[in-house]
Amino acid sequence: ESWTARLLAEGPKRAAQKVGEEGVETALAGAAGPDTELASEAADLIYHLLVLLRARHMVFQDVLDVLAQRAEAARQTPGQAGT
């Protein structure tokens, strides 16, 4: 059984836990690690985020749609900082 299948079988809570762990590791690599470590940790973070989205019956396009909405809102209100 693959790691992805195991994570999906364990449900969103376990996938969310992995996103948290990988987020911390990515932040630490970004603050003090070499570029190769940051790239590796970022890949792990994105992978686990995609698994979490799948566990919640979502797709990455859902995230992209939110970013597009925010970009549009920022264009409509110049000078406002985005989130």
pLDDT by residue (tens digit) across 7-64?
999 999 999 999 999 999 999 999 999 999 999 999 999 999 999 999 999 999 999 9
Question: How do the residues of the chain divide into helix, strand and coil, expressed in percent and rounded to 5?
Answer: 80, 0, 20
pLDDT at residue number 41: 98
Domain extent listing, the chain: 3-76
What span, in angstroms and rounded, lies between the C-alpha atoms of 47 and 54? 11
Q: Candidates 2.60.40.10, 1.10.10.10, 3.40.630.30, 1.10.287.1080; correct CATH number of 3-76?
A: 1.10.287.1080
Q: How confident is the model at residue 65 (pLDDT cuts 50, 70, 90)?
A: very high
Q: How confident is the model at residue 78 (pLDDT cuts 50, 70, 90)?
A: confident
Identify the CA nearest to 56 among candidates 2, 3, 19, 83: 19
**Largest separation between any pair of C-alpha atoms in the chain:** 51
What span, in angstroms and rounded, lies between the C-alpha atoms of 66 and 83? 11
